[in-house]
Chain A
Amino acid sequence: MMRLYAVTGALPRDLDTEGWSVHRAGSLAVLHAEVAGEEPGEEPGEDETHEAAMVVDGQRLVRLARQVTLLPVRYGSRVADLPELEALVADHRDAWERRLAAVEGCAELLVRVGEPAVRAERPVSGHEYLRQRARALEQGERRWDGLVELVRPWARELRVLSAHRRLAALVSREQVPEAREAVGAWAGEHPEIDVTVTGPWPPFSFCEEPRDGE
């Protein structure tokens, strides 16, 4: 079995892939590794579910993404053999080339927004509680909209990962510090909300074409 890690454009011959193999297919390359113990009837390898191995692979992807434009493959994706991999590349070549062009030179920033404090005042009645909660949610929505608009100028693309909770922004690598600083300043103006920014990540959330409204 071959575990797939990333799809890239043409790779420099001297690139250190940190042990991953490279399958070159025209303008594309796929980073992969042979995995043992996953044949039918065998127990999965120890690393199959091991979070530490996942983190190591993820960090390897992060390092490689600083050097080349890549599309991470969803973790755990496998093909049986080389012919299956070649067929996969042939099926997805056009889409992958389009997305590689879309994410070139960019990284993903994740902005996570905490739950707004909706019970700052002790409700005196059910009606009062609902009124306070509605007000808090409305404020939370307005702040979320403000945050999205704040990030938008830096983002080539945006994805809302979970409504009013996490936002993924595809940002030029050069502008990552500026974008982070802007979100940090915004958070400083809204101390009642927990906002965290992580990244730069490989473009995990931008491997597919944007849907309408994104």
Chain B
Amino acid sequence: MTMTVERVPCAENVALVDLVDRLIDGGVVVTGDVVLSLAGVDLVYLGLRLVLAPAQEVAPGLSSGRSSR
């Protein structure tokens, strides 16, 4: 056995999981600004750093018991 990936029955799925994980948890993080408004009236201005992260990293117990699609 030369490549461990061969031991895994769903290697393609593992690769897809890694791709999706890196898409939403890696890459360049851009900063931005947002204005929260209600009924067309600007209420709050926020300078923000938008970060998307896998739910299981933010709250490890969050995804337990949920089916995956």
Contact = CB atoms under 8 A, between A and B. Distances in A.
Interface of A: 4, 7, 40, 51, 54-55, 57-59, 61-62, 71-77, 79, 84, 88, 91-92, 96, 108, 110, 112, 162, 180-181, 183-185, 187-188, 194-199, 201, 204-205, 207-208
A55 B19 contact: yes
Given A51-B20, A77-B50, A181-B2, A72 B27 contact: yes
Contact of A198 (B2, B14, B23, B26): B14
Nearest to A193: B4
Given A184-B1, A194-B4, A196-B11, A76 B22 contact: no
B39 to A, nearest CB: 10
A205 B25 CA distance: 8
Chain B contact-residue range equals 20 to 34
Contact of B28 (A72, A84, A198): A72
Nearest to A4: B30
5 contacts: A92-B28, A96-B28, A188-B1, A188-B4, A204-B27
Interface of B: 1-5, 7-8, 11, 14-16, 18-20, 22-32, 37, 50-52, 57, 69
A7 B29 CA distance: 11
Given A74-B30, A79-B32, A205-B26, A58 B1 contact: no
A201 B52 contact: no
A73 B4 contact: no
Contacts of A84: 32
A184 B50 contact: no
Given A184-B2, A184-B3, A7 B22 contact: no
Contacts of B31: 88, 91
Given A184-B2, A198-B15, A77 B20 contact: no
